[in-house]
């Protein structure tokens, strides 16, 4: 074991992990830790992430100055720097460590750090730009946007926040653009194909949803093989004769808007050349726009519209989904893709700047100023009046973030009229609407200033002699 002359006892910061760390899980979900990429866990501590990733058949090596100094930190496609920067008390060494990790990364560097919202969990004396705990361990807690701009500054790369406290610095523009594309339009799902007839059905379904024919390399292998004996002209005729023209037009409209959204997000994060876009995006641009230039100009106008209060407010009023209040629009996660494109852009820009939390149910977009909050209501579907558990807010102008936990609150804020957060055709809407109607009839919404928190709502239920049984309002039994 290497002897270090550190001013804090850094090895003590490495904990044993029973499960994969949050950043590694996030990177797996974001398809950054694939089996074709080499992975280096730089500052791997006791190596539990390395072992868990090995079990997932990843090609991974761990290096740590204390626990694994005998392995060599070799250049790798992906470098993980998980909760290392926090524990380095010397700012020059902290920066050097980040630089070294960046030098070793071929495709992407994944940096995670503990955030200021954990302040209450870390006690100690002020030491440099952090705290020295009684166990002699050091912690510099980062602000979410501080982490992103720090990594951007040291690496000189364009950085995307994946989740709060987890950022990706890409060395390879194509990898960055493909990641952004995946965030906006997850890969199209294909129906399974077992014979030529089902392969044709799958193809027609794709064309109706995407609004254009796929290229062979966009198809699942089995479908491509089953259709290989057909000539391109035959395929076009088959699709023309079978597919629903109205659905293709709708699919085309959706793909046009998704492409615009993608290009606007890309501009927000730094635009690359056409040939660095993922192949499917290039095909969408060719199919739905006269040129890349025209597509970019429209996307730029969309990004400009984000600054226009009147336009944004108009889009919120016109939105087919969401609950509009005097300050903001609230939309359930299941309905966000149905918001007008400028509002989807609003949410995406905030998530790239500060990271979208792993757990959230409802997003709140303010119409004055620009701030996005992701609110977590873990029991949204079960609880007739879901109680908020936490919220994470980013101000798009200052890039300040804040996190609120209601875990210790004795009277949490709760929701009413749940159906308003969802798309009108959501299967749960009729049940939720029936409950709202019966609550209205029972006079439960007479005092809006009282019903927004658990205690106030309970007292209003008592005043009206009612109680809830699941999503049914019933008379309260008399004692």
Q: Where does this chain bind ligand SAM (CB under 6 A)?
A: 10-11, 13-14, 17, 21, 42-45, 49, 64-67, 82-84, 87-88, 93, 97
CB of 67 to ligand SAM, least distance (A): 6
Q: How far is the CB of 97 from ligand SAM (least distance, A)?
A: 4
Residue nearer to ligand SAM on the CB measure, 129 or 225: 129
Stretch (H or E) spanning 248: helix 245-269
Token digits of residue 163: 């989740």
Distances in Å between the Cα of 268 and the Cα atoms of 277, 290, 394 are 15, 23, 16
Kindly state the smallest distance separating residue 17's Cβ from ligand SAM, in Å. Answer: 6
CB of 395 to ligand SAM, least distance (A): 29
Dihedral sign for Cα atoms in the order 139, 143, 144, 146: negative
125 closest CA partner among 5, 45, 7: 7
The counts of H helices and E strands in the chain are: 15, 17
Q: In whole angstroms, how close is the CB of 242 to ligand SAM at the nearest point?
A: 53
User: Cα 210 to chain center, whole Å?
Assistant: 23
Nearer to ligand SAM, 113 or 200 (CB): 113
Least distance (Å) from ligand SAM to the CB of residue 16?
A: 8
Q: Return the SS3 of 122.
A: coil
Instruction: Select from 348, 352, 347 the least CA-distant residue to 363.
Output: 347
Residue 40 dihedral angles phi and psi, to the nearest 5°:
-120, 125
Of 45 and 251, which CB lies nearer to ligand SAM in the complex structure? 45
The residue among 39 and 339 lying less far from ligand SAM, judged by its C-beta, is: 39
CB 135 within 8 A of CB 142: no
Closer CB to ligand SAM, 5 or 275, in the complex: 5
Task: Kindly state the smallest distance separating residue 8's Cβ from ligand SAM, in Å.
Answer: 9
DSSP 3-state of 19: coil
3-state secondary structure of 91: helix
Q: Provide Rg for the chain, Cα atoms.
A: 26
- Minimum distance of ligand SAM from residue 58's CB (angstroms): 15
Q: How far apart are CA 344 and CA 329, in angstroms?
A: 12
Pick the closer one to ligand SAM by CB: 42 or 288: 42
Taking CA atoms, 362 is separated from 206, 336, 424, in Å, by 30, 9, 16
Nearer to ligand SAM, 155 or 269 (CB): 155
Q: Which residue pairs, CB below 8 angstroms and at least 24 apart, start in 390-395?
A: 390/357, 390/359, 392/164, 392/354, 392/357, 392/360, 394/144, 394/145, 394/350, 394/353, 394/354, 395/369, 395/370, 395/371
Minimum CB distance to ligand SAM smaller for 44 or for 345: 44
Identity of the residue, 62 or 355, whose beta carbon is nearer to ligand SAM in the bound complex: 62
CB 66 within 8 A of CB 14: yes
Q: How far is the CB of 86 from ligand SAM (least distance, A)?
A: 7
């Amino acid at each position: 074991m290497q002897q270090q002359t550190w001013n804090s006892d850094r090895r003590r910061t490495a904990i044993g992990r029973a499960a994969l760390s949050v950043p590694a899980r996030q990177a797996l979900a974001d398809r950054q830790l694939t089996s074709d990429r080499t992975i280096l866990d730089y500052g791997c501590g006791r190596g539990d992430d390395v072992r868990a990733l090995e079990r997932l058949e990843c090609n991974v090596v761990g290096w740590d100055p204390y626990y694994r100094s005998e392995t060599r930190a070799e250049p790798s496609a992906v470098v993980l720097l998980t909760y290392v920067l926090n524990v380095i008390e010397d700012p020059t060494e902290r920066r050097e460590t980040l630089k070294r990790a960046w030098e070793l990364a071929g495709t992407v560097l994944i940096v995670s750090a503990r955030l200021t919202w954990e302040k209450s969990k870390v006690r100690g004396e002020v030491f440099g730009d952090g705290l020295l705990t009684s166990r002699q361990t050091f912690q510099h807690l980062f602000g979410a946007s501080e982490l992103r701009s720090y990594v951007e500054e040291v690496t000189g790369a364009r950085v995307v926040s994946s989740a709060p406290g987890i950022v990706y610095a890409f060395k390879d523009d194509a990898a960055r653009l493909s990641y952004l594309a995946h965030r906006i339009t997850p890969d199209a799902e294909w129906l399974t194909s077992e014979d030529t007839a089902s392969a044709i059905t799958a193809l027609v379904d794709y064309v109706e949803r995407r609004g254009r024919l796929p290229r062979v390399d966009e198809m699942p292998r089995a479908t491509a093989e089953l259709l290989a004996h057909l000539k391109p002209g035959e395929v076009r005729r088959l699709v023309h004769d079978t597919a629903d023209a109205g659905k293709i037009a709708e699919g085309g409209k959706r793909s046009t808007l998704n492409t615009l959204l993608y290009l606007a997000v890309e501009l927000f994060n730094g635009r690359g050349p056409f040939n660095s876009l993922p192949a499917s995006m290039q095909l969408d641009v060719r199919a739905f726009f006269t040129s890349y230039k025209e597509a970019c100009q429209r996307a730029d106008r969309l990004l400009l519209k984000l600054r226009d209060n009147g336009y944004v407010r108009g889009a919120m009023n016109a939105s087919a989904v969401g609950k509009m209040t005097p300050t903001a629009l609230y939309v359930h996660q299941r309905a966000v893709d149905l918001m007008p494109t400028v509002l989807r852009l609003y949410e995406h820009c905030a998530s790239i700047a500060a990271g979208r939390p792993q757990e959230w149910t409802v997003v709140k977009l303010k119409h004055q100023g620009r701030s996005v909050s992701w609110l977590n209501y873990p029991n949204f579907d079960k609880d007739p009046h879901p109680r908020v558990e936490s919220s994470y807010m980013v101000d798009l102008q200052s890039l300040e973030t804040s996190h609120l936990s209601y875990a210790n609150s004795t009277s949490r804020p709760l929701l009413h009229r749940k159906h308003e957060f969802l798309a009108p055709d959501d299967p749960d809407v009729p049940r939720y609407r029936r409950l709202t109607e019966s609550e209205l009839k029972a006079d439960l919404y007479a005092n809006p200033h009282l019903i927004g928190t658990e205690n106030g709502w309970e007292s209003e239920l008592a005043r009206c002699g009612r109680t809830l049984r699941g999503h049914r309002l019933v008379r309260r039994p008399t004692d």
